Structure 1
Amino acid sequence: MLRIFSSINGQVEQIEKPENGSWLCLSEPTDVELATVASQTGIDLADLRAPLDDEERSRVDVEDDYTMIIVDIPTVEERGGRDWYETIPLSIIVTENLIITVCMQDTPVLHPFMEGTIRGFNTFMRSRFILQILYRNATMYLRYLRIIDRESDKLELKLRHSMQNREIVMLMELSKTLVYFTTSLKSNEIVMEKLTTLQRIKQYPDDEDLLDDVITENKQAIEMANIYSGVLANMTDAFASIVSNNLNNVMRIFTIISITLSIPTLIFSMYGMNFDGGMMGMPFTDKPWGFMLIIVISMVLSGAVAWFLTRSRMFK
């Protein structure tokens, strides 16, 4: 999808054709749209296609007529009724008169710019626009990291009484997401450091403070991702042991029940054997109350064995 925006009288409006100072937003672009933009702007088609590869690394490329900045942005994908977090590339290409963004998805990172809700945003202030995108990107990372932290807290409550692997697998997925986030944030940090020394992009008076804010937010996101990664790693190991202990407790109960039931089974099996009436028979078989007495004795012995096993150190 190709959308063109321009700041007109302080408002961001969508226009039909590109003009000086406008913003071309390519989201999930088709080959026709990429070819059209390449022919109109003189940008190499390979550079326009670069962010459509989800393995593309973050970098800054300086060409003769334009500068291309690729950063990793967070995204959410719904699978199996759950949200899964990952990162994808976003390309920001700056020419003499235009700024172009290319992404394989319609990312929420850019939505506030389209809606005109970003304070101080103007499409013709291209260097500030770049920093505002990077700042918005860093805040999105922080937002998703807080969501991941809350999800890990919910999983922690479930794991206290769980005997299944589902929660542990979900914790491992969150840990993998944090690894992706950390790697992408560190790559973005390198891009930001290079922007501080890039002379081609014009710097406005307030851009220096904005760049400092972007770097600070990005570093905060890196620290949060590292902290959460360490916590999740320890939590995964701890709750793997908890699941094993919960299973052992269940097996302990089953063992006690099995041993307890073996007592009356042994007694009744002996009394179930056939004996010759002239030979020595089993005790109490000739008494009318013998059957009830054997049942009472079996219950007493079973209760005594159950009491002993539940208090034995072997089964604690």
Structure 2
Amino acid sequence: MIKIFRTIDGHIHQLNEASEGCWVVLANPTATEILETANKYHIDQDDLRAPLDEEERSRIEVEDNYTLILVDIPVIEERNEKDWFGTVPLGIIISEDMIFTVCLEETPVLDAFMDGRVRNFFTYKKTRFILQILYRNASMYLHYLRILDKKSEVMEQKLHGSPKNQEIIELLEMQKSLVYFTTSLRVNEVVLEKLLKVESIKKYPEDTDLLEDVITENKQAIEMAHVYTGILNSMMDTFSSVISNNVNGVMKFLTTITIVMAIPTMVFSAYGMNLNLSGIPFSVSHDGFLIVILISLALSLVVALICSKKDLF
């Protein structure tokens, strides 16, 4: 899908044809759309396809008539029938006349620009536009990290109950999301550092503060990801300890029950032996069976009381 936008009289408008100062959006483009864009605007097809590969690394490449910036952006993806987080590449291509963005899917990072919800946004101010995209990207990381933090608090509450397999799977998915975020934020930081040195992208004094904000926001996201990863690792260790402790408690209870039940079993086994009746206590008594039952129950009760005092139940 291809969309074309341009700032006219301070407002963003969608157009049918691209012209100087336009922003061309390619969201999960088809092979035909990539070929037509490459031929029309003299862009290498490989550079247009690069952001469509989920494993593509973040980088900056300077060509003769354009510059390619590849960064990782956060996305929501469904895993195990629940919404979790991952990352996909976003390509930003800056030519002399226009700016192009290429992504495997539509993303909230760019939706705010399309809807005109970003202040001081102009499609023809390419350097500022790049920095605004990168700032929005870092802000989305922070937003999703806060959501993960809230989910971890809910998981912590569940730890006080009886942990189940579902909680373990959710913790694993949270760890995966944090690993994706941490890795992507680190490579994005390298891209930001290189962006300061690329001469093909003009630097304007009025954008200096914005660039500093982008770097600061990205570093803050990295620190938050590290903190939440540490918290989640501690939670996983606690989870394992709770599960192990619960298993130990169950095993202790079952062992105690086995000991208590072994008393009547031993008594009944003795009375079940093929011996002379005269040698077996209470064998000639009319209430012998009831007496043996009561003695077995009494012995079991004494053993149960002893185990209870030693906190074995």
TM-score interval, smaller chain: over 0.9
Secondary structure in structure 2 of the residue aligned to 1:102: strand
Query: Residue 21 of structure 1 corresponds to which residue in structure 2?
Result: 21
Cα-to-partner distance string for 1:284-313 (whole Å, 9 max, x where unaligned): 233333333222222221111112223337
Match of 2:4 in 1: 4
Match of 1:310 in 2: 308
- Which residue does 1:157 correspond to in 2? 157
Determine if the alignment matches structure 1 residue 66 to structure 2 residue 66: yes
| More displaced stretch, 287-296 vs 81-90 | 287-296
Bigger shift: residues 197-206 or 222-231:
197-206
Q: Which amino acid aligns with 2:140?
A: M
Say whether the 8 Å CA contact 1:159–1:243 is kept in structure 2: no
Give the Cα separation in 1 of the matches to 2:233 and 2:276: 70
Whichever residue aligns with residue 301 of structure 1, its letter is: L
Deviation at 1:205, TM superposition (A): 4.2
Question: Hey, what does 2:294 align to over in structure 1?
Answer: 296
Q: Are the aligned partners of 1:6 and 1:12 in contact in 2 as well (CA < 8 Å)?
A: yes
What is the correspondence of 1:226-305 to structure 2 with a 5 Å cutoff? 226-277=226-277, 280-305=278-303
Contact 1:76–1:83 (8 Å) recurs in 2? yes
Q: How does 1:205-220 map to 2 (within 5 A)?
A: 205-220=205-220
Matched AA of 1:290: G
Residue identity opposite 2:15 in structure 1: I
Deviation at 1:14, TM superposition (A): 1.1
User: What is the CA–CA distance in structure 2 between the aligned matches of 1:311 and 1:218, rounded to whole Å?
Assistant: 58
Q: Which runs of 5+ in 2 are unaligned?
A: none
What is the CA distance between 1:109 and its match in structure 2?
1.0
Instruction: Report deviation, 1:87.
Output: 1.1
Instruction: State the 1:238 CA deviation.
Output: 2.6
Q: Give the CA deviation at 1:171.
A: 2.1
Return the offset for 1:163: 5.3
Shift of residue 213 of structure 1? Answer: 0.8
Helix, strand or coil: the match of 1:120?
coil
Distance 2:225 2:47 in 1: 30
Deviation at 1:274, TM superposition (A): 4.6
In structure 2, the partner of 1:93 is 93
- Work out the CA distance in 2 between the residues paired with 1:166 and 1:237: 16
The answer for the alignment partner of 1:81 in structure 2 is 81
The residue number in structure 1 matching 2:31 is: 31
Deviation string, structure 1 residues 96-130 (Cα, Å, up to 9, x no partner): 11110001111121111111111111111111111
> CA RMSD, aligned part only?
1.8
- Distance in 1 separating the partners of 2:43 and 2:307: 79
Please report the TM-score for the alignment, with normalisation by the length of structure 2. 0.94
Give the aligned residue type for 1:286. Answer: V
Q: Distance in 2 between matches of 1:142 and 1:296?
A: 69
The one-letter code matched in structure 1 to 2:83 is D
Q: CA deviation at 1:180?
A: 2.0
The answer for the alignment partner of 1:181 in structure 2 is 181
The one-letter code sitting in structure 2 at the alignment partner of 1:45 is Q
CA contact (8 A) 1:161 1:246 kept: no
Structure 1 segment 51-62 matched on structure 2, within 5 A:
51-62=51-62
Structure 1 stretch 204-213 or stretch 166-175: which is displaced more? 166-175
Aligned twin of 2:135: 135
Number of positions where the alignment pairs a residue of Structure 1 with one of Structure 2: 313
Give, in whole Å, the separation in 2 of the partners of 1:118 and 1:203.
Answer: 21
Relative to the length of structure 1, the TM-score reads 0.93
Residue by residue over 1:33-67, the C-alpha shift from the partner in whole angstroms, topping out at 9 and shown as x without a partner, is: 11111111111111111111111111111111111
Q: Tell me if the contact between 1:168 and 1:240 (Cα under 8 Å) persists in the aligned partners.
A: no
Q: Secondary structure at the match of 1:123?
A: coil
Cα-to-partner distance string for 1:70-97 (whole Å, 9 max, x where unaligned)? 1011111112221232111100001111
Amino acid at match of 2:90: L
The one-character-per-residue Cα deviations of 1:190-225 (angstroms, maximum 9, x if unpaired) are 111222233332334431111111111100000001
- Measure, in 1, the Cα distance between the counterparts of 2:163 and 2:127: 54
Find the counterpart in structure 2 of residue 113 from structure 1.
Answer: 113
Residue 263 of structure 1 aligns to a residue whose secondary structure is: helix
